[in-house]
Amino acid sequence: RIKQGVKETSARLLILEHSQDRIKGAYKAEQEQHSELVAETDALQDQLGEQLKMTHELNRQHQLLELRKGNQDEDLAAEMVNLKKEIASLETDNHEVRVRAFNAGTVKIEARQLDERHRDLTERNKALRQDKEGMVVSMAAQEE
């Protein structure tokens, strides 16, 4: 009867250890994905900064052209349309960067949750091992 209890506890312990290994693997994968997303977010933010600088420079050039060309309204109107398109494109890129940054934050939260679950399972695993050791000692004492 005690041997069966030890076997059952050992089986549960093995299942928990396997579960813990899977969780560790998932946690590590989430951490790696998070690191990649953070790096990608940083790169996208750098790109956005460059694009905003370029937009500012294009606006400045547009203003200079407007002053130089005077009556060539059609050319300026076309340039304005192009600038508006470029600004719209930059705003779209900015939105994508913000979405990716938000997703990176979500990954951080999930990683913390996995870490907490990992700690809980580790503590449970430790308690089960102690119970098993106590049973083994108890059985050894009863056999003597």
Q: Are 115 and 27 in contact (CB under 8 A)?
A: yes
pLDDT attached to residue 46: 94
pLDDT attached to residue 144: 67
- DSSP assignment of 90-134: HHHHHHHHHHHHHHHHHHHHHHHHHHHHHHHHHHHHHHHHHHHHH
- What is the rounded CA–CA span in Å between residue 109 and residue 69? 55
Q: Of 13, 49, 14, 34, nearest to 113 (Cα)?
A: 34
pLDDT attached to residue 129: 85
Residue 77 is given by DSSP the state: H
Whole-prediction pTM value? 0.34
pLDDT attached to residue 124: 86
Enumerate residue ranges in the chain where pLDDT < 70.
Answer: 69-73, 75-76, 107, 144
